Structure 1
């Protein structure tokens, strides 16, 4: 019996001997991946060259680091997953003890050359006087031409992603059906045309477009495995930092774009970023509003006190400081004037007109105060006020006091009559100044109310 058992073991092997032969090396040997193969590295992995390689790309945003309004760039952290099928690297898992996936280095196989269009590569100058742009082609540049040199300088120092910030996995996952999966994380600095008209209540829509620089849409077709809603949800879940922005939505779209006679497949993520406006409301909008209210309250200050004009000038200088702060935030190349700039300029203009009105009222008030009267007129008025009852009525002649004869007194009155006839009545300019001040105050209040209603409607509906 023992001899029969030993004979069976020799014929069929010891228990577990099949498992001892189950190793990744046998699978790598079967797939010819034990040594680097230039064919697998450079050739698009299709059995028939007419077959299109479908590349699926999914992006998750997990950090919004910075939005530069002056340079029109957005810096973010993104996670990119790429999948495609290699028709040469397939196997039956049952032949290899159920192994259905394998991890191999990227350097052994073909990788789709998919780049981000908005991620500008740094411009490099060659010794032959040529430059390398984002399409990796060398183009001649005349360094003696000032216009081309200026363009060269602007491109050289244009913000681009640092290659050292790309954390790319050196390995990829290979499925039994030939499906390959690779991931990478990147600190992406992408260009974005920012619309700052509704600043700071603006929503920016920035594009991140994936495309191949070597294959047309007949050879390589881009796609995505996740929908827009799923990508947005995953980004919200994995979001680490957002700074002054909030991720509102991510829209995925597929399209083809012709480049000469070649049509290239493109995958575009449209990222909607909503600004958090509270800091700008506290630092800019509310202070300007409070200064405008103070300027309205200054109409209750008496113009004759001399403090009204100085108070208004102080408010005007405070608004100028806020304008300098705004100048450091907004780009000078903006075509349309942002609403916040219109708001600041309008407040500055209204307060400036209020200062001019205060100067006019102070001038009219001083006219009635005696700045245009002659000293002898003021002395004559003081004498007439001392005897309100008249010269001849109930006048008592005291001993030693000289009294003018009646004829001489009449001559004095006749000589003074032409001068008094050309002089405006007392208080005319003062009443004019009061009327101007009241009318301007009412108009000022109405303009301020309509002004704020207009900006509130624009900012809310925008």
Structure 2
């Protein structure tokens, strides 16, 4: 009997009793329409805190930053309070957000209106402290500086503030300092994509227009790009193409293989430039170092190609060699004629010699025609000039061939020194 009496004497309390005591209902619209202060001159202090849960995307082309964050806001409602001892120790209740006043805090950089989640409930304690917790997928604008791409560090801001109520009505304050926000974000961070999260800095600011000021709370998220993928897929192939262009100096200039090889290398670099064009934004405050890197390498290759054309012209493009090249290929006149025409020209030369000789008699019986001797001398002089001006196994190079050979050596060393100096300068600029 004693036990039954003790059980029956315990009071039974419901959350509904607290709602009735506080007069929180759909009909009481004053709790929703008015700022919850007893003195209108006193501003409502809103404490905020965010936690970075995931870095989803950083798009350079559109200059946008996408992240998933948790947001916590706490403020005081002076119209709400109760004694927990009168309600069986109930010290906290959940209230639908449609029934109470909520500060109009938004993100100034927010660009996607369709990503706001529903905020169903508010946490309220017996002292009137209201806490609102929610998660949000944020798509915001971010001033992305790609000057040091792909070794860049980006800082994207999330600015919280009221759009309607000035600093006389709502003031913002951080609930945690920068180090605490950073540490907790490191603990819960799930994905970072191509980026490595560094830290979050928080500070307050005031936005003024005329005589009105708005309080702002700014969270700056710092992150560093993971550059290994870009180094392997872009930078190393560019350097390998440059090394191939340097190695092409050791290809012989006697034929067109060297020229064709250099053109192929330039085409390979052009493909990499097209890939880079899809990554970098069309408008940037500073020229990206990687764009300068590619343009200078392209200029090096173009200078090497022009130097090869000049050397090949000096070595094989002299007029004295034209006769020997036509004899070697069996072509005279236009390049489109066949070897058969060359053989016909040779037969014509033989016919001319027989006509000039006049007969098949020995030279001791009849005097040789002077025109035949003149023709033979001219042919021998042309052959001598060509042998002196082209590479022969037992010949000596002429003046222009010597100039081309020495100039090619000087250009190679200058080219190699310039490439090394440029690579060192770019490396220093990227790491600074």
| Correspondences of 1:364-383 after superposition (within 5 Å) | 364-367=314-317, 370-372=320-322
Identify which of 33, 47, 50 aligns with 1:42.
33
- Answer whether contact 1:212 1:264 (CA < 8 A) is retained: yes
| Correspondences of 1:362-441 after superposition (within 5 Å) | 362-367=312-317, 370-372=320-322, 426=389, 427=397, 428-441=399-412
Identify which of 168, 182, 186 aligns with 2:118.
168
1:118 has 2:109 as partner: yes
Shift of 1:371: 2.7
Report the aligned-residue RMSD: 3.1
Structure 1 moving runs of 4+ over 3 Å = 16-19, 367-370, 372-375, 399-405, 423-426
Other-structure match for 2:280: 330
- Answer whether contact 2:11 2:88 (CA < 8 A) is retained: no
Shift of 1:320: 0.7
In the alignment, the residues of structure 2 paired with residue 211 and residue 429 of structure 1 have an alpha-carbon distance, to the nearest angstrom, of 76
Q: Could you report, residue by residue, the CA deviation over 1:25-77 in whole angstroms, capped at 9, with x for unpaired residues?
A: 22111111145411100111011112221101111111111111111111111
| Correspondences of 1:177-196 after superposition (within 5 Å) | 177-196=127-146
In the alignment, the residues of structure 1 paired with residue 9 and residue 173 of structure 2 have an alpha-carbon distance, to the nearest angstrom, of 41
1:209 has 2:200 as partner: no
1:449 has 2:399 as partner: no
In the alignment, the residues of structure 1 paired with residue 45 and residue 292 of structure 2 have an alpha-carbon distance, to the nearest angstrom, of 50
Secondary structure at the residue paired with 1:70? Answer: coil
Over 3 Å counting, the alpha-carbon distance change for 1:172 and 1:401 in structure 2 is same
Q: Could you report, residue by residue, the CA deviation over 1:141-187 in whole angstroms, capped at 9, with x for unpaired residues?
A: xxxxxxxxxxxxxxxxxxx3242x32233011101111111111111
- Answer whether contact 2:64 2:139 (CA < 8 A) is retained: yes
Secondary structure at the residue paired with 2:154? Answer: strand
- Answer whether contact 2:145 2:285 (CA < 8 A) is retained: no
Secondary structure at the residue paired with 2:418? Answer: helix
Secondary structure at the residue paired with 1:273? Answer: strand
Aligned length: 384
- Answer whether contact 1:161 1:187 (CA < 8 A) is retained: no
Other-structure match for 1:83: 74
- Answer whether contact 1:54 1:85 (CA < 8 A) is retained: yes
Other-structure match for 2:89: 98
Q: Could you report, residue by residue, the CA deviation over 1:72-112 in whole angstroms, capped at 9, with x for unpaired residues?
A: 11111111111111011112222222211111111111000
Secondary structure at the residue paired with 1:27? Answer: helix
In the alignment, the residues of structure 1 paired with residue 201 and residue 41 of structure 2 have an alpha-carbon distance, to the nearest angstrom, of 31
Shift of 1:259: 2.2
- Answer whether contact 1:166 1:184 (CA < 8 A) is retained: no
Secondary structure at the residue paired with 1:452? Answer: helix
Other-structure match for 2:306: 356
Shift of 1:452: 0.4
Shift of 1:433: 1.3
Over 3 Å counting, the alpha-carbon distance change for 1:459 and 1:213 in structure 2 is same
Shift of 1:365: 1.1
Other-structure match for 2:258: 308
Secondary structure at the residue paired with 1:20? Answer: coil
In the alignment, the residues of structure 2 paired with residue 208 and residue 54 of structure 1 have an alpha-carbon distance, to the nearest angstrom, of 19
- Answer whether contact 2:25 2:99 (CA < 8 A) is retained: no
What is the TM-score when the length of structure 2 is the normalising length? 0.82
In the alignment, the residues of structure 2 paired with residue 89 and residue 317 of structure 1 have an alpha-carbon distance, to the nearest angstrom, of 74
- Answer whether contact 1:368 1:430 (CA < 8 A) is retained: no
Secondary structure at the residue paired with 2:413? Answer: helix
Secondary structure at the residue paired with 1:167? Answer: coil
Over 3 Å counting, the alpha-carbon distance change for 1:402 and 1:373 in structure 2 is farther
Q: Could you report, residue by residue, the CA deviation over 1:214-272 in whole angstroms, capped at 9, with x for unpaired residues?
A: 21112111011111111112222212221111111110011111122211000000111
Shift of 1:404: 12
Other-structure match for 2:19: 28
Identify which of 196, 199, 211 aligns with 1:249.
199
Q: 362-371 or 200-209: which moved more? A: 362-371
In the alignment, the residues of structure 2 paired with residue 402 and residue 60 of structure 1 have an alpha-carbon distance, to the nearest angstrom, of 114
Shift of 1:306: 2.3
Other-structure match for 2:392: none
In the alignment, the residues of structure 2 paired with residue 458 and residue 441 of structure 1 have an alpha-carbon distance, to the nearest angstrom, of 26
Q: 13-22 or 201-210: which moved more? A: 13-22
